[in-house]
Each structure stands twice: as C-alpha cells, then as structure tokens.
C-alpha cells in the first residue's frame, strides 16, 4: 500500500498568513493527489484534484503543486473560515485509496 | 442538485451487524463509483471499499475483507454498506463518497453527510 505522510500534523497561524502543508507519498503517484478540507462534524470537501486543479467554487487563495512523491497545498492569505483539518489522498495505485493523517490548522 | 443522503445514526452491540444506506440523486447513478470511508472519533480518514453501481462489482480494503459487504439497488439509486462482527473499534462516522467512472483522477467530489455508528455493550 502507498503510505501518505503529511507535515506538519498541526499548525498555528494568523489570519492573513501564507500557509503551506506538505504531503509525501511512499512511492511515485504521478499527479494522482487530491486535497480536502474538513471542519468539525462535517464531511470532507474537495479543494484540489490532480495535484494542482482547483475544484469549482473553491477560492483562488488555495493552490496545489507537486508530482511524483512530493506535494504541497498552499493557502495564500488565511481567512477565518480556513481553520480546519486538511487531508491529502492518493488515487494512483488502488485499491486501497490512502489518505494522509491530516493537518490541523489552528488560529494563533 | 447532486446529493448523497445517508441513513441515520445507529447504536449496536458488539458482535452485531450494521447496514448503512446512501441514496444518490441529481446525477446518473451508474456514471460514478461509490466508496465508503470511515472516520473514528478524533482520527483520520480510512478507505473501506468501492462498488460499481453499474455492474455491482466490489473491491474491499484487506482490513475489512470477510466483514464488509457493499451492495446497490439501481431502482432506488441507493448503495448499502453492511459491516458484521462489530467491535468497539468500529465506532466511527461512515461516509459514502463518489468518484467519476470516466475520470481516472479518483477524487471525491461529493460526500454523504455521514452516519455515526456506535458499538457499545
């Protein structure tokens, strides 16, 4: 199975900050990497698919990059509604589909 | 609009089975695979398996082989996930989520609202 490792596991930041979350795959997954945002008590929401494509309706302050084994999710200017947990997910070699362990983004 | 509506919360005793439903609407049911993903309290996301609503074929995560069964009813656009021999570690929110049959990117663009299954004696 492909292991997905996110860093950091948690992060404190302020409104207006630029934030980067990293996801590393245990082997190459090309660009089959997706990012989700999850708020407490809610289902995950798709932000970025295929490593760098912005899902319709998602603000442009979110962006993704990378290929192979190393990927990043960047939020260019944090807004209050962005404080949540973020997950990466690989869909290259399946089954199984695997997720990172999550990055909790908290208000500083 | 596209919706995945899941059945309500369940409380089960250890050793019992639970069957969760996920009713799809607003799109062609057979054009999207349906997956089940669970999340234990305070934990991350765990993939359980996938069903092709068109033909009914399934693939399960090795961890759940022998305990999980995914089925579908095309007449009602509903998929089901049944988990047997429940133990306390199965306490979690269970989500259905779809991926496109025609796009190999494998991303979940729509999720159900989640169903809390609590296993307790």
B120 neighbors B91 (Cβ within 8 angstroms): yes
**Mutating which of B43, B63, B105 best tests the A interface, going by the most A Cβ atoms within 10 A?**
B105
Where does the pLDDT of residue B89 fall: very low under 50, low under 70, confident under 90, or very high at 90 and above?
Answer: very high
pLDDT on residue A63: 98
Interface of B with A in 10-69 (CB under 8 A): 35, 44-47, 49-50, 59-62
Residue B23, min C-alpha distance to chain A (Å):
16
Q: What is the pLDDT of residues B32-64, one digit of tens each?
A: 999 999 999 999 999 999 999 999 999 999 999
- pLDDT exceeds cutoff 90 at B26: yes
- Lowest-confidence pick of A26-40, A43-57, B45-59, B99-113: B99-113
pLDDT on residue B80: 98
Residue B73, min C-alpha distance to chain A (Å):
23
Average pLDDT, chain B: 97
Chain B partners of A96 at a C-beta cutoff of 8 Å? 47, 61-62
Q: What is the pLDDT of residues A84-107, one digit of tens each?
A: 999 999 999 888 999 999 999 998
Residue A49, min C-alpha distance to chain B (Å):
6
Q: Return d(Cα A13, Cα A76) in angstroms, integer.
A: 12
Phi and psi at residue A105, in whole multiples of 5°?
-100, 115
């Amino acid at each position: 199975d492909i292991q997905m490792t996110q860093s950091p596991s948690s992060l404190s930041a302020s409104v207006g900050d630029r934030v980067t979350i990293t996801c590393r795959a245990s082997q190459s997954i090309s660009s089959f990497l997706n990012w989700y945002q999850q708020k407490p008590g809610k289902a995950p929401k798709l932000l970025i698919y295929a490593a760098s494509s912005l899902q319709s309706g998602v603000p442009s302050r979110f962006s993704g990059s990378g290929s192979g084994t190393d990927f990043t999710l960047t939020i260019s200017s944090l807004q209050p509604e962005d404080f949540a947990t973020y997950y990466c997910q690989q869909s290259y070699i399946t089954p199984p589909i695997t997720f990172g362990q999550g990055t909790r983004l908290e208000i500083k | 609009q596209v919706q995945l509506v899941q059945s309500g919360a369940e409380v089960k005793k250890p050793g019992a089975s639970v069957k969760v439903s996920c009713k799809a609407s607003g799109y062609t049911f057979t054009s999207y695979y349906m997956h089940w993903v669970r999340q234990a309290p305070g934990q991350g996301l765990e993939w359980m398996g996938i069903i092709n609503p068109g033909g009914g074929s399934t693939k399960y995560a090795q961890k759940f082989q022998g305990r999980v069964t995914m089925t579908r009813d095309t007449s009602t656009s509903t998929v089901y996930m049944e988990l047997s021999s429940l133990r306390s570690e199965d306490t979690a929110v269970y989500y259905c989520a779809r991926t496109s049959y025609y796009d190999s990117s494998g991303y979940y663009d729509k999720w159900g609202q989640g169903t809390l299954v609590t296993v307790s004696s």
